[in-house]
Amino acid sequence: MNNDELLKTVKEKAEKWLGPQYDAETRAAVQAMLDSDDKTALIDAFYKDLEFGTGGLRGIMGAGSNRMNIYTVGAATQGLANYLNEVFKEEPQISVVIGHDVRNNSRKFAELAADIFSANGIKVYLFESCRPVPEVSYTIRKLGTQSGVMVTASHNPKEYNGYKAYWSDGAQMIAPHDVETIAYVNAITSVDQIKFTPNKDLIQIIGKEIDEQYLDDIKTLSLSPEADKKHADMKIVYTPIHGTGGMLIFDSLKKWGFENVIHVPEQDVQSGDFPTVASPNPENAEAMAMAVAKAKETGASIVVASDPDSDRIGLVVRDGKGEYQLVNGNQIVMIFLYYLITRNRELGKLTGKEYCVKTIVTTETIKRIAEANNVTCYDCFTGFKWIADVMRNLEGKERYLGGGEESYGFLPETFVRDKDAVSSITLMCEIAAWAAEKGMTLYDLLKDIYMEYGFSRERGVSVVRPGKTGAEEIVAMMKNFRENPPKELAGSPIVTIKDYSDLNCRNLKTGEVEKMNFPTTSNVLQFFTEAGDKVSVRPSGTEPKIKFYVEVRENLESTDKYEETVVKAEEKIEKVLADLGVK
């Protein structure tokens, strides 16, 4: 389709949004785009429909078919309601849980979803105000509902919002339910198909009573209560970065006995504008800067943070010089699983039937830790719904210790089926107390883990390509990597290529091709070198970018040489990225 044809199609589509079935504010916004000389905004808003994918909806808020608004959210909810009414038609009363984060329009979208579900005869448990993602997952399981919705765009910039759909096990949907739901949502082709008039008798507001049950269950995860008690005055800085974490995490830390939790008052303010940060992502040093400044001011031992929907954890620790260092997502998962495995072993709880889960792009060091302790480590696709899938399949057969992914998400419990910053932050503070009991900091602990199980260094790089042309460029990049894979990285030849789009694992030395055992395919490529390095390449499923995950191995001779080994590894990562043509 050439530009003239595209513009004609977009205009025709936009003009339908000027009809009386759309509200005045939407009509005015669409008319303004149509009247503008620059048609870029119009094209971006209408060149496609905002896709209800396997993770739900996520997009920029505004008028248009490719935007998050009451009509795209309405269509998603109506489609999901139709599917639930079909699948669970034998149930006397179908029910759902709805939660939302602090983002602009999140409450509006959550109440809209509640209205539409109730209009379709479905009972709704709607949280009274914003809540963390994991609490929605918890409540689905606790109340035994058939589904749930969380209105959130996680750690995306303030212009975004999203809509996550959950199934009856508290996990985000996978096949067949995700595919079937998508079909039902796509069948909503007109606003007239959406039932907007609510049945208020079917909407029940919930809140504090669920909070207390959730926090009580999190308290059962403690493995070192004596260390928590002894180090109750340990200085902990926690920031919710304007998000939902402030609702529960301070209370959770208090329940575990931590009495010296220091606030960052400016970031306790719940706001969808995220006024103190460029992006509310605890992966970024900039988002952690105010909390680190507070730690320097107070001499805190540890800095922890959660993103706006409180499923991701940020962590900063003090090094041997007293400086504060950001801990990456791979290291966070590694610390958690090391502690859970080690502490279970110390308590005599390891029976040989325990397991942990990591995603394919997460550090291989975790697998070495698990296997050395006779714990099975399962690999799964990126996204916590796949960790939840492993948990579902092994329920009652093996004991889950924990699961995580490099993107700063971890889950140490089974009563939630999504990553959980509430339990994870509280548990990380216990790990700091446990380390302190041994005369160590978390930084010391990290170095000891590397000495015992081998050193690796990871870095994630995202190449952003927004809009229609960007999406096309990302497709072309993946095609090129498949057709012209690199021969070597950082001077080490590629020995294995794993392509998850067809589940083929190719041994380049022998020429053998082996089928990988995964429940479905995924648009991910992995390159493994002779030196033990790993590169994973995948387009994001929720954002306009392609992601590169680089993991390199180096020899760590002693903990005293940790910093210089990190420098060597970072130099090697730069070489790998240069070989990939990534800037």
User: Tell me: the pLDDT tens digits for 400-430?
Assistant: 999 999 999 999 999 999 999 999 999 999 9
Rounded CA-CA distance 90/102 in Å is 36
Cross-strand partners of 549: 460, 536
Q: Quick one: 229 and 376 in the same domain?
A: yes
What is the rounded CA–CA span in Å between residue 7 and residue 14? 10
pTM attached to this predicted model: 0.95
55 and 150, same domain (yes or no): yes
Which pLDDT score, from 0 to 100, does residue 542 have?
A: 62
* Active site (annotated) includes residue 154: yes
- Determine the pLDDT at residue 231: 98
Q: Are residues 195 and 229 in the same domain?
A: no
**Which residue from 389, 398, 404, 382 is spatially nearest to 336, judged by alpha carbons?**
404
Among 171, 206, 241, which residue terminates a domain?
206
Residue 133 and residue 83 share a domain? yes
Closest residue by Cα to residue 102 from 71, 124, 130: 130
Whether the predicted pLDDT of 53 surpasses 70:
yes
Residues in the chain: 583
| Structural domain contains residue 371 | yes
469: pLDDT confidence band, cut at 50, 70 and 90? confident
Number of domains in the chain: 3
Q: What is the pLDDT of residue 468?
A: 76
Q: Is 40 part of a structural domain of the chain?
A: no
Query: pLDDT at residue 107 above 70?
Result: yes
Q: What is the CATH number of the domain that holds 509?
A: 3.30.310
Q: What is the CA radius of gyration of the chain?
A: 24
Considering 153, 171, 206, which residue would you say is the last residue of a domain? 206
Nearest C-alpha neighbor of 14 from the set 30, 37, 38? 30
Same domain? 240 vs 134: no
Question: Which runs of E-coded beta strand occur in 6-157?
Answer: 57-60, 95-100, 123-127, 147-151
State the chain's mean pLDDT as an integer.
Answer: 96
Give which of 46, 51, 21 is closest to 34, Cα–Cα: 46
Task: Say if residue 481 is in the same domain as residue 552.
Answer: yes
Confidence check: pLDDT of 508 > 80: yes
Q: Give tens-digit pLDDT for 527-566.
A: 999 999 999 999 987 678 999 999 999 999 999 999 999 9
How do strand 313-318 and strand 302-306 relate by DSSP bridges?
antiparallel
Shared-domain flag, residues 149 and 182: yes
Measured distance CA(299)–CA(306) in Å, rounded? 21
Residue 500 has pLDDT above 90, yes or no: yes
| Residue tagged active-site, from 154, 310, 423, 456 | 154
pLDDT of residue 466: 82
* pLDDT for position 136: 98
Same domain, residue pair 225 and 257: yes
Q: CA 506, CA 516: separation in Å to the nearest integer?
A: 10
**pLDDT for residue 517 is more than 80:** yes
CA distance 334 to 479: 33
Same domain, 228 and 195: no
Residue 149's DSSP bridge partners are 98, 165
Domain range for 472 is: 455-580
Residues 149 and 134: their CA atoms lie apart, in Å, by: 11
Q: Cα(110)–Cα(126) distance, rounded to whole angstroms?
A: 8
> Alpha helix (H) ranges present in 299-383?
329-346, 365-372
**Statement to judge: residues 431 and 474 lie in one domain:** no
User: Per the domain annotation, does 441 fall within a domain?
Assistant: no
| More confident call, 231 vs 465 | 231
Band of residue 1 on the pLDDT scale cut at 50, 70, 90 = low
Shared domain check, 539 and 390: no
Helix (H, G, I), strand (E, B) or coil at 160: strand
Count the Cβ atoms, other than its own, within 10 Å of residue 13: 19
Question: 80 with 222, same domain?
Answer: no
Q: Which residue has the higher pLDDT, 3 or 487?
A: 487
